[in-house]
Amino acid sequence: MNENGSDRHILFKTKLFYMLMSAFFIVFTVLTTVVFLTAFRIQNIEVENCKYSYEENIIKSSGIKTGIHMYAIDKEKIKTAIMSDNPYVYEVRITRKNSKTLCITLSEDEPKFYISSGGKYLVLSDELRVLAEYENENEATALSAAPILLPKVKSASLGKTLVFEEDTEEDGKECIKLLSVLSESDISSSITSADFSERFDIRITYKDKYEIRLGSPQNFAEKIALVSDTVKFLEDPVNGYSTAKGIIHASVNGETSFEATGAIS
């Protein structure tokens, strides 16, 4: 009898243990589900690295509504919508800052150049993507964008790369490659105008001080590197040319020369 009673007691304790564990698991699961469904609701949206776009436009473009669950949003769809509506933006990163705050981090193109086309002034990136359009030229120059002459343009759309006429299409593509090289150079931030309209007579202006004549696109990277060194030499007061304005001839591979045309007043 004692052995049978002991076995029943052990069996009862075992059943009780499993019942309590099951109950605990059910309660834990319910509580976890409730917390998950209620805690991760978006209450705040923060936008970072928003230099040229408008924060309110970014949030509006995202289509995110407060109260929606963090894990219910389609990040890829949101990224596409933001980049489609905001031409400066070329990349979007979406992260959860905390259980209530979503962070949208932008990567924006810098306004580098502008052209006149169709009665408007189009602001361009260094890859000739259209970032903005204005009726007034002053609005383009206010962004520190430099005027640029290009091969004949066929069409231009916000957020898209310029489309060139059929007879200048290859020249246009080459311009993009050359401007990419220029944007990586030491003189890039001080370019005040550029002329890439003639393939064998490329010219850029540095600080409205030096007209740089580069000739053809051949060995363009080497020419720009040599021009950068020449500019450093000319602007160093020790060398006696820092107040001089003029022309830097750089069309011959491997050499530059400076032709003074005046002095800074």
pLDDT digits (tens, 9 = 90+) for 171-209: 999 999 999 999 999 999 999 999 999 999 999 999 999
Bridge-based pairing of strands 89-96 and 101-108 is antiparallel
Cβ count near 253 (within 10 Å): 12
**HSE (side-chain half, CA atoms, 13 Å) at 241:** 19
Q: What is the mean pLDDT of the chain?
A: 89
Placement of tokens 């489609």 in the chain: 84
Q: How far is it, in rounded angstroms, from Cα 37 to Cα 142?
A: 48
Contact yes or no for 58/82 (Cβ under 8 A): yes
| CA-CA-CA-CA torsion sign (18, 24, 26, 32) | negative
User: Measured between alpha carbons, how far is residue 13 from residues 6, 22, 24, 97 in Å?
Assistant: 11, 14, 16, 47
Q: How far is it, in rounded angstroms, from Cα 155 to Cα 133?
A: 13
Q: How far is it, in rounded angstroms, from Cα 211 to Cα 246?
A: 6
Q: How far is it, in rounded angstroms, from Cα 36 to Cα 71?
A: 10
- β-partners of residue 211 are 205, 247
- β-partners of residue 106 are 92
User: Measured between alpha carbons, how far is residue 193 from residues 4, 7, 214, 241 in Å?
Assistant: 101, 96, 14, 22
Candidates 3.10.20.310, 2.60.40.10, 3.20.20.100, 1.10.287.3510; CATH matching 44-108? 3.10.20.310
**Domain residue extents for the chain:** 1-39, 44-108, 113-263
pLDDT digits (tens, 9 = 90+) for 117-150: 989 999 999 999 999 999 999 999 999 999 999 9
Q: Which fold is adopted by the domain 113-263?
A: Rossmann fold (3.40.50)
Please report which confidence band the pLDDT of residue 10 belongs to, taking 50, 70 and 90 as the band edges. low
CA–centroid distance for 18 within its chain: 58
pTM, full prediction? 0.81
Contact yes or no for 106/48 (Cβ under 8 A): yes
Q: Output 67 or 55, whichever has higher pLDDT.
A: 55
Q: Is 62 helix (H, G, I), strand (E, B) or coil?
A: helix
pLDDT digits (tens, 9 = 90+) for 96-113: 888 889 999 999 999 999
Q: How far is it, in rounded angstroms, from Cα 82 to Cα 75?
A: 11
Q: Which two tokens stand for residue 20?
A: 């309590």
The interaxial angle of helices 169-183 and 220-235, nearest 10 deg, is: 40
Q: Which two tokens stand for residue 89?
A: 């933006």
Mean pLDDT to the nearest integer, 70-89: 93
